[in-house]
Structure 1
Amino acid sequence: MRTDISANGPAKPPSALFDADLEAWRTQPERAFDGWLARHGFRQGTAVVYRAMWGKLLRWSGERGVAPLAWSAEQIGAFLDEQELHKHHRYRYARLIERVFHHLSQLQDGLHNPASQAVRAHLAEGENDPTAFLLPAEREALIARVLAPALVPPGPDGGAPSPTQWKRARDIALVAVMLGAGLKVGEARELRTDSIAADAGALHLVRADNGRAYDAPVFAFARAALLAWLDIRVAAGTLGSLVFPAMPNGRALHAASLYRRVEILLDEAGVLAGRRERASPQTLRNTCGALHFEAGAAPAEVAQRLGMRDLESGWRLWAAFEAWQARTGLTAPPGTGGRA
């Protein structure tokens, strides 16, 4: 029987994990968390880190006499402050707690999510990090290991795909449109099937704040994954018009779930291993902008292709890209200096 190794030694074997109700989460939070990790299928490295993070939060809580799951947004902010964490790690802590409470909300209606409240109140932010991009080797690994491999065809003899095939194809296509078209989390969650060009070469989008329509071109490396997902989506009889629903019944995908699915694929591609700067859906969007810059697009063009609020945002991204190149020791692409 396999036993995972945690930061504090051997973890409980799978037989000790269980489906915890809300009371079990309050009385046996470590064991309940192990069960949650196992059900979500995190990679071993990620599970080890999450288990250590959860244990540190529980120890801090116990030292202050605060019952597990009774945290307020202010207490989460205080915990993060006392750990003197870099912003990337503060954010990761907040997202982990948010995911746990999202799970708990399915056990009890109306359960407050203190991590979401902490994020909205900017208690989890800390110091601003420099704008991050994927290194060339990281994005190439993501394309080669996640986006490029052929997808398993839907079911035997072209029948309906299995739930695993359905989710896998959806998640790969999610990463594809974030890296290949620069979609934000909200745009990906709300993307409709009639917004995708027939050849998946462009996405027809409308900004929610001002109603401005624009076309987001899709890089060639992302199109096959998106088209394959659309075929599987149809073969499964998926309801509704959302491109990336949570389930075949058409229910919208929760933002925390989207972050989790993207993180799993980034981890699978080896992007998270040893990386100092944060990698997230926003990093994929930034990297899409970098790909446009490297292809010769001017900042104003990139602002239009990414649906930014104004053209000046494209110049800010270009400045951040130049600063990142200097920070990482990369040579600026030929012909990109002094854009008009």
Structure 2
Amino acid sequence: METANSTHTGSHAIKRQGPQQSHNHPLRKDFFDSLSYWLDSPSLAYSSWLSEQKLKDSTKTVYMAMFGRFCQWLNEQGRRLDQLEADDIRRFLDSANPNLPQSRKARTNSGRQRQQYVRQLEKVFAHLSSLGHSGTNPGRIAGYERIGTGSDKPTRFLNREETQRVIQLIQTELDELRQEEKSTDEWLKYRDIAMIGVMIGGGLKVSHIRRLTLNCMDMVEERIDLSQPGHAHRARLLAFAVPAVKAWLSVQEQMHGRKLEPTQKIFEADRSSGFGRNSKTVTLSASSIHRRTQRFLAMAGITGERASAQTLRNTYAGLLIDGGATDDHLVDYLGLQASVTAQRLRNAYARSQLRPAGGAHLSKDH
């Protein structure tokens, strides 16, 4: 078993791409409202953008203070807006405000403040998209995952019986497709089964699924490599997920006449609109992934807040822990930033096993 400190060669994983500057946008009157300013001086760009919004002056003052604190946190993390993910928003919302008096420093954001942050960040990234930013909208994803609702949501794992139902459904659905000798005619089903497989059997997030490409897949080693310079992320596919992923890759190859580029998106969008012209390069939206995940889990009898991509990722971590994974393995296979996160996740999973099936699980991390 490899650890997070193992060396790895090759460059078959797609690295984070820098923002694509668009040259088709008309010149703007506001000099500060450009993608480069948003990435290099987000507080200044936000202030300029906010001044044009139809809001009360008092509201703008509050929003400026909030976004200023967010920019302060972002700078402390050594990150830019184009590197932000929904989990980062969760971490920010869970952090204490260093600008408060000493007696109140431990106080975290209220439920209303959390919702305001998520909504504002969703609007900011929607605006960045209009400026040429080609990445996802982490604010929107945070909204789908209910990161901004109320107080901190506990880490949720599927219990063992629910986990087995999902695994069994993956196998049953795949067997039915094979028995009926359906391939390209039912490609959406193959794709969605594989998508659930890489969530619960590979721990992939929605953002991973959207950017996953063919050269990330190593089906000989049965792993998915999403590593970046200085940051190992090599998701080990658990045995039950491998057949579903291999079946979908085979179907996808047939669909494209066995002519696939290394940068072919694994989870491509519905070909019913522009297939062969546009859809080959169009990926599933985050909302579509969430809807399809909830639909599949509903088939397994799992609904409510536990029916989410994040719960499947957490459950994958639980399966690794049950299999004897070390903290280094969790860091490597889940692409975590530090071993302390693996330890918190391990503790959350241990506490979850002490609760009745279906009960709440304690943690603030994942």
| CA distance in 2 between partners of 1:328 and 1:288 (Å) | 20
Greater RCO structure (CA 8 Å; 6+ sep): 2
Give 2:153's aligned amino acid.
Answer: D
Query: How many equivalent residue pairs?
Result: 215
One of 132, 138, 141 as aligned partner of 2:156: 132
Give the TM-score, by structure 2 length.
Answer: 0.52
> Counterpart of 1:325?
353
Percent identity over the alignment is: 31
For the Cα contact (< 8 Å) 1:181–1:217, is it kept in 2? yes
Unaligned runs of 5+ in 1: 1-73, 75-86, 99-112, 331-340
- 1:296-328 Cα distance to aligned partner (Å, 9 max, x none): 112332122111111111001011112212233
DSSP 3-state at the match of 1:213: coil
Give 1:310's aligned amino acid.
Answer: A
Unaligned runs of 5+ in 2: 1-62, 64-110, 123-136, 272-278, 359-366
> Counterpart of 2:332?
304
| CA distance in 1 between partners of 2:231 and 2:142 (Å) | 32
For the Cα contact (< 8 Å) 2:293–2:307, is it kept in 1? no
> Counterpart of 1:267?
298
What is the CA-CA distance between 1:148 and the residue it aligns to?
4.0
1:290 corresponds to 2:318: yes
What is the CA-CA distance between 1:213 and the residue it aligns to?
3.5
- 1:24-75 Cα distance to aligned partner (Å, 9 max, x none): xxxxxxxxxxxxxxxxxxxxxxxxxxxxxxxxxxxxxxxxxxxxxxxxxx9x
> Counterpart of 1:216?
235
DSSP 3-state at the match of 1:328: coil
> Counterpart of 1:247?
270
DSSP 3-state at the match of 1:243: coil
Change in CA separation of 1:328 and 1:303 when aligned onto 2, cut-off 3 Å: farther
> Counterpart of 2:143?
119
- Equivalent positions of 1:8-157 (< 5 A) are 116=140, 119=143, 124-149=148-173, 150-153=175-178
What is the CA-CA distance between 1:269 and the residue it aligns to?
1.1
1:192 corresponds to 2:203: no
Give the TM-score, by structure 1 length.
Answer: 0.56
How well do the aligned residues superpose, as a CA RMSD in angstroms? 3.5
| CA distance in 1 between partners of 2:141 and 2:197 (Å) | 30
| CA distance in 2 between partners of 1:181 and 1:172 (Å) | 13
DSSP 3-state at the match of 1:292: helix
